[in-house]
């Protein structure tokens, strides 16, 4: 038999082309693309459907420690199951260091949490909270060498925020090793100042979370992160950009030839700060950082996606349960927004929202959708062309979409560990019906058929984008 599987009759799209062809799969890889490929052990009829590279969500948080009494809603099994139902074949969560911890031990710990539990493939970014000499001088370079080729730094959050000096030291390691630095850009002192004032004025409801982190807080930190990266001459990825002013900082840097990249997320396209105004504590369901803004910010984020200022669209999936003493309402007696765990679930809804609001509504092409959802993630984070495209030799990581299916997003359709979706009630057209990782279905016609543990850890090469500027193009 020539192939294990042939997917017949679908419309195939990559980041650059859309065409009709059959896909022949052998040993987990794409072995042929064409018409009349011959025989296979199994034939899958995809007529009337789209066959796309499986989504890669390069910004998710899974099973991260989140503070006393707070537990993240997803472990690796539930998060990767939810990812598969959302048309994803790979996720990149963070191995988060806390102060005083050995980075190597942190990584080993996340492997223990993930091993044997994943439905889709995974790879880890690192979070550097303790920029000590030992970490920067020894552990971090060794880990980059071992395939952990990107790391996130925070300019805010108690226990995580790095000083400018620490940021520069981390960026120097990135320069020496070729790793890519991801930055959470919000000004910590400004947030603390505003939070104290709001609390003193009795403004503690969830909606004041947004008031405590206004646009200038993010714009200033974005500008500063870019300036620090420019000093060191390293590429930098500004993650979860929420508004036009921060986006313009990135655009301006790009137009000056700097290797500055941007990411935005569904919450900045379809939610606003009004969502934090829910009755009682319902607003906590939307507490994430940076916060959702307003309609003008949403338009700016769409422009960033259309014009190539943003090269990746990720979920920033960071799930907590709502109606749970360990979730959004956890900190007993601590009624201020200050204590609400930051983050919202979204790994399952990222792609349907982008497809419906983007492709179906004519804001982006199908090829741009593929770039933003899969290909650019693979290129950015050292996985291309093994992952992120449909080409002979690539892993057979595929999502089969029904582009006509109309769905109203609701919690009962979700497969993760949270008890709510912040996208409740949003009507979408287009839905991923089947997801295949390395030639094996994980979700087939809406049903889970994959095995827990079939998802593998994938070490990564250096980012294409972290090579010297003349060596490669910037993905739009
Ligand atoms: O609120 C958010 N975004 N939580 C997740 C952690 C982060 O900053 O990405
Ligand atoms: Zn962040
Ligand atoms: Zn995040």
What is the CA(213)–ligand 1 centre distance, in A? Answer: 13
From 315, 343, 317, 349, select the one nearest 328 (Cα to Cα). Answer: 343
If you average pLDDT over every residue of the chain, what do you get? 96
User: Residue 261 above 80 pLDDT?
Assistant: yes
What is the CA(59)–ligand 1 centre distance, in A? Answer: 9
Q: What top-level class would CATH report for the domain 3-52+390-421+428-448?
A: mainly beta
Q: Where do we find the tokens 């300036």? A: 227
What is the pLDDT averaged over residues 414-428? 98
User: Residue 474 above 60 pLDDT?
Assistant: no
Reported in sequence order, the residue ranges of 245-321 that DSSP labels E, i.e. its strands, are 260-264, 310-313
From 331, 342, 336, 332, select the one nearest 199 (Cα to Cα). Answer: 336
Residues in contact with ligand 1 by the CB-under-6-Å rule are: 61, 184, 240, 288-289, 316, 318, 342-343
Give residue-wise pLDDT tens across range 300-342: 999 999 999 999 999 999 999 999 999 998 767 678 999 999 9
User: Residue 228 above 60 pLDDT?
Assistant: yes
What is the pLDDT averaged over residues 74-80? 98
In the structure, what pLDDT confidence band is assigned to residue 468 with cuts at 50, 70 and 90? low
What is the CA(184)–ligand 2 centre distance, in A? Answer: 4
Q: CA 410, 414, 415 angle in degrees (round to 5)?
A: 170
Distance, in Å, from the CA atom of 222 to the CA atom of 185, rounded to the nearest integer, reads 5
Q: pTM (2 decimals)?
A: 0.97
Specify the pLDDT at position 476. 64
Query: Tokens for 210?
Result: 């947004």
Secondary structure element (H or E) that encloses residue 237, with its range = strand 236-238
Specify the pLDDT at position 469. 47
Nearest C-alpha to atom 9 of ligand 1 is from which residue? Answer: 316
Mutate to test the pocket of ligand 1, among 96, 182, 288, 319 (most ligand atoms within 8 A of CB): 288
What is the pLDDT averaged over residues 449-468? 92
Which chain residues have CB less than 5 Å from ligand 2, an ion? 184
What is the CA(359)–ligand 1 centre distance, in A? Answer: 27
User: Residue 470 above 70 pLDDT?
Assistant: no
Distance, in Å, from the CA atom of 300 to the CA atom of 257, rounded to the nearest integer, reads 21
For the CA of 287, the nearest atom of ligand 1: 1
Residue-wise DSSP of 97-136: --TT--HHHHHHHHHHHHTTT-SSEE--EEE-----HHII
Q: Where are the domains positioned within the chain?
A: 3-52+390-421+428-448, 55-368
What is the CA(1)–ligand 3 centre distance, in A? Answer: 45
For the CA of 152, the nearest atom of ligand 1: 9
CATH T-level fold of 55-368 = TIM Barrel (3.20.20)
């Amino acid at each position: 038999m020539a192939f294990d599987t042939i997917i017949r009759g679908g419309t195939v799209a990559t980041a650059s082309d859309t065409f009709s062809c059959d896909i022949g799969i052998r040993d987990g890889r794409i072995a042929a693309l064409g018409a009349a490929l011959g025989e296979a052990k199994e034939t899958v009829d995809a007529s009337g459907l789209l066959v796309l590279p499986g989504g890669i969500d390069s910004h998710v948080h899974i099973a991260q420690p989140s503070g006393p009494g707070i537990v993240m809603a997803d472990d690796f099994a539930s998060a990767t199951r939810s990812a598969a139902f959302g048309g994803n074949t790979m996720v990149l969560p963070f191995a988060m260091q806390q102060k005083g911890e050995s980075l190597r031990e942190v990584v080993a710990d996340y492997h223990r949490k993930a091993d044997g539990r994943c439905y889709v493939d995974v790879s880890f970014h690192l979070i550097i909270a303790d920029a000590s000499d030992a970490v920067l001088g020894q552990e971090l370079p060794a880990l980059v060498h071992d395939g952990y080729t990107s790391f996130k730094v925070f300019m805010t959050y108690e226990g995580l925020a790095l000083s400018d000096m620490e940021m520069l030291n981390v960026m120097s390691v990135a320069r020496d090793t070729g790793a890519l630095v991801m930055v959470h850009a919000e000004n910590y002192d400004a947030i603390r100042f505003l939070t104290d004032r709001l609390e003193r004025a009795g403004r503690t409801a969830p909606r004041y979370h947004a008031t405590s982190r206004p646009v200038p807080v993010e714009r200033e930190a974005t500008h500063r992160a870019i300036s620090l990266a420019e000093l060191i001459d390293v590429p930098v990825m500004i993650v979860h950009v929420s508004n036009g002013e921060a986006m313009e900082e990135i655009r301006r840097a790009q137009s000056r030839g700097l290797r500055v990249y941007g990411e935005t997320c569904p919450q900045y396209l379809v939610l606003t700060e009004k969502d934090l105004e829910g009755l009682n504590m319902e607003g906590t369901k939307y507490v994430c950082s940076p916060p959702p803004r307003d309609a003008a910010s949403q338009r700016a984020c769409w422009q960033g996606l259309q014009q190539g200022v943003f090269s990746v669209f990720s979920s920033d999936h960071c799930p907590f349960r709502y109606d749970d003493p360990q979730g959004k309402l956890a900190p007993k007696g601590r009624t201020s927004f200050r204590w609400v765990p930051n983050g919202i679930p979204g790994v399952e809804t990222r792609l349907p929202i982008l497809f419906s609001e983007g492709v179906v509504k004519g804001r982006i092409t199908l090829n741009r959708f593929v770039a933003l959802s899969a290909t650019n993630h693979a290129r950015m984070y050292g996985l291309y062309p093994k992952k992120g495209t449909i080409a002979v030799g690539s892993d057979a990581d595929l999502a089969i979409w029904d582009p006509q299916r109309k769905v109203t997003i609701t919690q009962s359709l979700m497969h993760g560990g949270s008890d709510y979706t912040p996208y409740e009630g949003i009507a979408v057209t287009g839905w991923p019906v089947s997801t295949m990782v390395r030639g094996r279905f994980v979700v087939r016609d809406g049903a889970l058929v994959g095995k827990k543990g079939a998802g593998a850890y994938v070490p990564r090469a250096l980012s294409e984008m972290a090579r010297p500027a003349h060596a490669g193009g910037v993905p739009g």
